[in-house]
Chain A
Amino acid sequence: MDIWSQIFNFDDYGELLYLVRNSIFAGAVLGIVGGLIGTFVLMRDLPFAVHGISELSFAGASAALLIGVNVVAGSMVGSIIAALLIGILGSRAKDRNSIIAVLMPFGLGLGILFLALYKGRSANKFGLLTGQIVSVDDPQLVYLLVISIIVIVGLLLIWRPLTFASIDADVAAARGLPVTAISIVFMLLLGLAVAVSIQIVGALLVLSLLVTPAAAAMRVTASPLLTPLLSVLFAVASVVGGIMLSLGGGLPISPYVTTISFLIYIVCRIVGARRRNDSRSPALANRAAVESRA
């Protein structure tokens, strides 16, 4: 089998699609989670924290694999501990970066240790870091759904105060908002979001789901309504598209997901840059409009 037919293979596609309907559903839900929380990750300048949390989440998941308990629960424990540590110790940006840089290799190291001790299927090991070959079973799906719903509902309930505190914590605090508590609640939700994302795209690639779609959306709009909507759309398209493209080849879905989300980002950058140029020079914009009509 040559390499292209391994990457893109659509034999027996209908049957495959039926087999992975759970994963597609889970992917769509994850897309909603990632797209929504991503806008706040960027507003609060936390992309590096997402990466840090995901490494500890990986450590938790591999520990769970080793001792034979639920992997989702393991990664959740890991990511919540990391999220709280980063949230509490790193309220200032500078402290935060160093704390993350200290935690991250520690988490990754632990994870490697647990995996080295693990005697089970090696695909399981690799999957935690770089994403699973599509396989979400029913109990796992329930876990993912429940956690995702908690994150989505939680975000919607604190949306406005979280926005206020993310834009300008001092002013929000002056208005009486509990900004520290808001920040810790957000870190908890972020921890949960990372833990579920790892199940699909793997610890190393979580950023493609929690950061790239929101970053792409922010290139093309500044509307506080349109940004999360587009971000969700991009994230869902990346995950679901990734799963569907990866089906035939039996490869992990993560490269497909990351490539789609990267391409969306590139397109949004180009669109955003064009629009900005146009708005700076109306004359040019007019000429472009005339040309495109011609």
Chain B
Amino acid sequence: MTHDAGAVLSISGGTLRFGARTLWHDLDLAVQPGEFLAVLGPNGTGKTSLLKAILGQQSLTEGDVQLLGRHVGHGSRKIGYIPQQKLIAEGTPLRARDLVALGVNGDKWGLPGSSRAVHRRVDEILESVGATSFGNSPVSRLSGGEQQRLRVGQAIASDPAVLLCDEPLLSLDLAHQRAVSELINEQRARIGTAVVFVTHDVNPILEMVDRVLYLAGGTFRIGTPDEVLQSDVLSEMYGTPVDVFRSHGRVVVVGVPESHDEHAHHPELEKDVVL
């Protein structure tokens, strides 16, 4: 397949193999501006590797990835990246607003010190992610949910064309999961950025998702949540009967085979790019 000219992000013929194991092959994907794509699937199916491929930190076995019509380089100002929540170490000399400021000018060389314009921009972002009240607090003393708000702010600071979110809700409580995912969705609406959201649990974002990319069993499916999150579709992917239940707007997948569970061996996790 050729690349879609209007797409923010497109992958054509993407194949990822680690040794003899094929995680997925012939993946064609075009993410449109403002689209919310959830990347789902059990651990070890190459969800994080897909993000790394988009970031230019993992090369695909075959196929290529384009960002705004160009081959991906090593990262870009056009990408906003929201990592898994990891608490910032105690004593780190950074206030909430400084973490956000890194998103504005953290990639600029030269003498430190911020202009008035940067200051205003940071105020604006703090406001839009609801962090104004703790803008001057040391980051290390904020809760995980508050820190994750700031990371959303940091990621949107450069008006990215695509937001890559790698399990950003992990280890947050339900209220914060909701708050952070709504925040990401709001930013999508506000600046028209596409969102690629890797998660093992689709429920907190189910209402926001336009399409799902489901990775499992060495294969993939793309479609709306209603098309993909079906018992027959997932059963075929896993090669064993899997039931998908829906209740009160939640999706529950039951019967995912043992080899796909959290404790399985994940070669690509060990191949993490060391930076």
Contacts and interface: CB of A to CB of B under 8 A. Distances in A.
Contacts of A160: 102, 105-110, 112
A161 B107 contact: yes
How many interface residues does chain B have, given as a range?
35 or more
B81 interface: yes
Interface stretch (B21-29, B69-77, B212-220, B226-234): B69-77
A170 interface: yes
A173 B75 contact: yes
Nearest to A39: B93
A278 to B, nearest CB: 13
5 contacts: A161-B108, A167-B102, A173-B75, A173-B275, A224-B93
Nearest to B78: A176
B112 A156 contact: yes
B91 A175 contact: no
A222 interface: yes
Interface of B: 55, 57, 73-77, 79-81, 83, 88-89, 91-95, 98-99, 102-103, 105-113, 138-141, 151, 154-155, 158, 164, 274-275
A173 B55 contact: yes
A51 interface: no
A171 B83 contact: yes
Interface centre among B92, B105, B141, B158 (most CB of A within 10 A): B92
A7 interface: no
Interface string A158-194: 1111011001111111111111100000000000000
A219 interface: yes
A223 interface: yes
Interface of A: 39, 42-43, 45, 91-92, 156-161, 163-164, 167-180, 215, 217-219, 221-228
Given A42-B91, A175-B81, A224-B95, A92 B274 contact: yes
A160 to B, nearest CB: 5
Given A159-B112, A176-B107, A167 B99 contact: yes
A159 B164 CA distance: 26
Given A42-B91, A174-B55, 18 more contacts: A91-B274, A159-B111, A159-B112, A160-B108, A160-B109, A164-B106, A170-B81, A171-B81, A171-B154, A171-B155, A174-B80, A174-B81, A175-B77, A177-B75, A177-B106, A218-B91, A223-B95, A228-B93
A169 B75 contact: no
Given A91-B275, A157-B111, A160-B109, A221 B93 contact: yes
Nearest to B73: A176
Contacts of A221: 93
Contacts of A222: 91-95, 138-141
Contacts of A215: 91
A175 B79 contact: yes
A176 B106 contact: no
B110 A227 contact: no
B106 A219 contact: no
Q: Which of A170, A221, A226 has the most C-beta atoms of chain B within 10 angstroms of its own C-beta?
A: A170
A87 to B, nearest CB: 12
Contacts of B92: 43, 167, 218, 222
B109 A157 contact: yes
A176 B98 CA distance: 19
Contacts of B88: 167
A179 B57 CA distance: 12
Contact of A172 (B57, B98, B106): B106
A218 B158 CA distance: 29
Nearest to B137: A222
A138 to B, nearest CB: 31
A134 B235 CA distance: 78
Contacts of B93: 39, 43, 217-218, 221-224, 226-228
A174 B95 contact: no
Contacts of B94: 163, 167, 222, 224
B275 A176 contact: no
A168 B91 contact: no
A170 to B, nearest CB: 5
Contact of B57 (A157, A173, A175, A178): A173
A92 B95 CA distance: 26
A176 B95 contact: no
